[in-house]
Chains A and B, each alone.
Chain A
């Protein structure tokens, strides 16, 4: 059941920054998905016309690697802490807040963040982050499933 539009954000060539895209890969078979680099204007555009959007991205807030954050962006903004060190979270924060200011947020918008450890240039993802991507994918399946029966 394609109950939600999953947007994975990140850069596959910057270590753990690929976390959001790995989650998206795991859900590709069952959901409408989009790989995105976080650029605000096109991200706002990509979210339009979808009732339920789930954004997944790597974050860098100082928490332990692999820690998972889930935020209901209809109710709250993305914390500033996420924006300070991620290579592109600035784009998402800007996109979400711009969409909010313009009244263009999708009716349901959830953000999943996975704390990254290594955001240096290069391929490869930390084991803690790899585990977290599987957990997040399972959580997304579970929460969209719940909604379906609700």
Chain B
């Protein structure tokens, strides 16, 4: 086998979020090529946003993703508020965190249970897994549902929430409405705790990388909407400086752009493992203890264990949601009014799968003149390829089907926002 060329090619179609493909080439037992190709719809949206009113950005960009619309809405409103010099605080700010909790619970749970767990338990899909692990799958569905309920209550509907606006919300919930979430959230918290235990018992391939982690960091909170943009290697900047420190590179094999740090042109890692590594001490003490109890250190560098870190974030999101509801008082107005003025606004927020950067330039009439959106999957794309470059050689002697299994699992570690496509794969193996 070693003197042959092996090509492992995975083409997959996605739902509306996009499509991607994986291509591995092995010559004489040596990995010679890794290509991950992701079609990236946000580019299309940036053109679409031009000449539209600044108030439309949250609703238009929410359409970029059916799995993480809240992230797009949050980065959009924060960037617009940055341009207008508007500060949203108090209960309105808390409600935004609550909405984000809903999305994290929903999106993370979908990934943990439906897309990633089958990799670890040896099933080709969640459907196959459900036959043997029905109780676990039911738990995942129930947990995900609670995330959806938060999004529906605050956002008006689950899939593309319509209640978010620059300055706050169109309508804010009553205390009584939010109280309806308490009982489901308490059950969700228990389910999240069980999830942590469940996924921590999986077998993880022995693999670590010395990642450059990049995430938001807030003085007190585990980050959703606000904070400095920091890295594990000393970066500490405002969102407005993002484009000074990061760049998007064109690569021949992909229509999508690869993001790298300008300094050294290195790949970097965004998402749960980055947030966790840079904000561990912002988690409540008992969640830190839970993480330690299941064998997660303060920093996790094994990307296969991202499923466990993700489960810790679900637990945190359930608790944070309960805390926000407990402290909730109906704000005086559902939104803060802003005077329109020309300017450029920047924001980065933490989408479930990592940092989501938005920049908008608006005119004195409030028309969008220019937009730049950098989604997390585009930032992780080069990192995923780097992981494959390191990981595949360790498993190079496996037959193609097993190698493909592990390689796909390695891609899914990042919950790329082609997630729906994850079990939707066509494989061709060419041996010459």
Contact = CB atoms under 8 A, between A and B. Distances in A.
Q: Do A and B come from one complex?
A: yes
A91 interface: yes
Contacts of A98: 126-127, 130, 137
Contacts of B14: 87
B114 interface: yes
B130 A91 contact: no
A14 interface: yes
Nearest to B137: A102
Contact of A87 (B15, B44, B114, B144): B15
Interface string A66-81: 0000000000000000
Contacts of A45: 141, 145
A84 B13 CA distance: 8
B138 A42 contact: no
A10 to B, nearest CB: 10
Nearest to A85: B13
Nearest to B66: A37
A61 to B, nearest CB: 14
A94 B15 contact: no
Of listed B13, B14, B44, residue having the most chain A CB within 10 A: B13
B424 A83 contact: yes
Given A87-B15, A98-B126, A121 B145 contact: no
B114 A41 contact: yes
A103 B424 CA distance: 24
Per DSSP, are chain A's interface residues mostly helix, strand or loop, or mixed?
helix
A42 B16 contact: no
A94 B159 contact: no
Contacts of B137: 98, 101-102
A18 B99 CA distance: 28
A88 B110 contact: no
A90 B66 contact: no
A97 interface: yes
B415 interface: no
A91 B15 contact: yes
Contact of B420 (A11, A42, A90): A90
User: How many B residues are at the interface, by size bracket?
Assistant: 20 to 34
B286 interface: no
Interface string B338-364: 000000000000000000000000000
Interface string B114-155: 100000000001110011001001101100110010000000
A40 interface: yes
Contact of A90 (B63, B131, B134, B421): B421
Contact of B131 (A39, A41, A87, A101): A101
Nearest to A77: B127
Contacts of B145: 41-42, 45
A88 B420 contact: yes
B126 A94 contact: yes
A5 to B, nearest CB: 18
A43 to B, nearest CB: 10
B158 interface: yes
Contact of A102 (B63, B138, B159): B138
A14 B110 CA distance: 24
Nearest to B138: A102
A90 B126 contact: no
Given A13-B63, A44-B141, 5 more contacts: A41-B114, A42-B148, A83-B424, A88-B420, A103-B134
12 contacts: A39-B66, A39-B67, A41-B114, A42-B145, A45-B141, A88-B15, A88-B16, A88-B420, A94-B126, A98-B126, A101-B131, A101-B137
